[in-house]
Chains A and B, each alone.
Chain A
Amino acid sequence: DTGVSQDPRHKITKRGQNVTFRCDPISEHNRLYWYRQTLGQGPEFLTYFQNEAQLEKSRLLSDRFSAERPKGSFSTLEIQRTEQGDSAMYLCASSPQITQYFGPGTRLTVL
């Protein structure tokens, strides 16, 4: 059990560019979650996968955001046409059933 890993850890991009983040969950965890955390706030739910199926999406997930989990293993979160308001920490969590375990996050800065 190596824990949840995320890549990259930091990303700086210019407004209008596309970015993609990767999350590798704990092996055999069939549930995977994405959250976003802005400075001084608690994390907010974005989306949830059970195996490869995306079962729930927050209203925070605009049409510029897309997430996938092919084959129920790793997941990617893509943001198209980034805006300065997208600057945040993007956190991934995995769970075997109830308890969620978080990765180290990807910190995105949009200039």
Chain B
Amino acid sequence: GIQVEQSPPDLILQEGANSTLRCNFSDSVNNLQWFHQNPWGQLINLFYIPSGTKQNGRLSATTVATERYSLLYISSSQTTDSGVYFCAVAGRMIKAAGNKLTFGGGTRVLVKP
């Protein structure tokens, strides 16, 4: 099946700093989503971005599908940005009806005041 790798595994930031999280995947995808998992375990949708660039406030994401990677940018980080960020993909070659997500191992972000 498709493989998803995220880096770095851990990230400690000072409040106000910028950061870049990376997601590499091993095959063509028809779905790529970035999530933020809060301390209570809720997965919050950040972006649906199988290709291209999107921005939402201080967050933006870029997926280069031909090179099989995606980047999540956090600008002017705040303590509320702490948590685990997951990249998840659905491979293009699986049954079209399924679209099951394969998750990376996550990047654990701690923003210090």
Please, which residues of chain A bring their CB within 8 A of the CB of B95?
A: 55-56
Contact A42-B104, Cβ < 8 Å, known A50-B97, A99-B33: yes
- How far apart sit A98 and B86, CA to CA, in the bound complex (Å)? 17
- How far apart sit A35 and B4, CA to CA, in the bound complex (Å)? 16
Within residues 52 to 111 of chain A, which ones have a CB less than 8 A from any CB in chain B?
55-56, 89, 91, 93, 95, 98-102, 104-105, 107
Residue of B nearest to A47 (CB): B100
Interface residues of B (CB under 8 A from A): 4, 30-31, 33, 35, 40-43, 45, 48, 86, 88, 90, 95, 97-106
A19-56: CB near B (< 8 Å → 1, else 0) gives: 00000000000010101010001111100101000011
Please, which residues of chain A bring their CB within 8 A of the CB of B106?
A: 41-42
- Return B61 CB to nearest CB of chain A, in Å: 14
- Return B83 CB to nearest CB of chain A, in Å: 13
Please, which residues of chain A bring their CB within 8 A of the CB of B88?
A: 42-43
Please, which residues of chain B bring their CB within 8 A of the CB of A99?
A: 31, 33, 45, 48
Task: Please determine whether A101 and B45 come into contact, CB atoms closer than 8 angstroms.
Answer: yes
- Return A44 CB to nearest CB of chain B, in Å: 7
Name 11 extra pairs, CB < 8 A, besides A99-B48, A102-B35.
A37-B41, A41-B105, A42-B104, A43-B103, A50-B97, A55-B95, A98-B30, A98-B31, A99-B31, A100-B101, A102-B42
Task: Please determine whether B41 and A104 come into contact, CB atoms closer than 8 angstroms.
Answer: yes
- The 6 nearest A-B residue pairs measured at CB: A42-B103, A102-B43, A45-B100, A99-B48, A105-B41, A104-B42
- Return B93 CB to nearest CB of chain A, in Å: 14
- How far apart sit A104 and B44, CA to CA, in the bound complex (Å)? 9
- Return A60 CB to nearest CB of chain B, in Å: 12
> What are 17 A-to-B residue pairs whose CB atoms are below 8 Å?
A41-B106, A42-B88, A42-B104, A43-B43, A43-B88, A48-B98, A48-B99, A48-B100, A55-B95, A55-B97, A56-B95, A56-B98, A95-B99, A99-B33, A100-B31, A100-B101, A101-B45
